[in-house]
Amino acid sequence: MIGVLCGVHPSLVSYWLSEGDIPLMERNFTEESMRRIRTYRAGSEG
């Protein structure tokens, strides 16, 4: 809602919402990049 109120195109807001639920962009990373991302996420959670 904030994005739409601030003038962000509704399709981009929709993309952001679906990206939060299902990591769509992960398919574009190599396996090495995904390993590094998972390692970073695991380290920042604890």
For the stretch 1-46, pLDDT in tens is 677 788 888 888 777 776 665 566 777 788 898 898 889 888 876 5
Give the chain's domain count.
Answer: 1
Non-local (6+) Cβ contacts of 15 within 8 A are 24
**pLDDT at residue number 46:** 58
- Alpha-carbon distance 42 to 39, whole Å? 5
The CA angle 22-26-32, to the nearest 5 degrees, is 145
Task: Name the residue range of residue 14's domain.
Answer: 2-45
**pLDDT at residue number 32:** 92
- Alpha-carbon distance 46 to 39, whole Å? 11
Phi-psi region of 44 (alpha: psi -120 to 50; beta: other; left: phi over 0): alpha
